Amino acid sequence: MDADATDDELEREERRALFAEVHAERDRLLPLRAEATRTTIELMRTNTGRTDEPDLVPYLNLTYLLTIKRAYGDDQLMAFALSLANWAVASIDELAKLTGRTAQQIVDRYETEIMAAREASDED
């Protein structure tokens, strides 16, 4: 067996192991999904109207994260993070459809804006 075949076999095994871990973790967190979704909706309703104050939004979001972690622990925090990630992906896809752009173009735009804001903040 050559080195490339061995490397491919190792990569496949690593992917299988990772997939098994992800599947097991998903099953373990699944009972927390309903509460995580309710918390996500609450955060979205509370914080989306605050984007005119972009420096405030990260603090509001971090407050939610710390509150969840302290009140419910790491598992609920992980379920909440998963819920937020799912909402973010769906929202970006929907925005792309509505604007006639690709999802990648939407992500690129926000990445550019974040980098520009960070540079402006560093200059202050």
Cα–chain center distance at 102: 19
Question: Hey, where are the domains in the chain?
Answer: 32-123
Whole-model pTM?
A: 0.75
CB atoms within 10 A of CB 66: 11
d(CA 79, CA 97): 27
Residue-by-residue pLDDT tens, the chain, 124 positions? 566 667 888 899 999 999 999 999 999 999 999 999 999 999 899 888 887 887 788 888 899 899 999 999 999 999 999 999 999 999 999 999 999 999 999 999 988 888 887 788 777 7
Cα dihedral sign, 20-27-95-60: negative
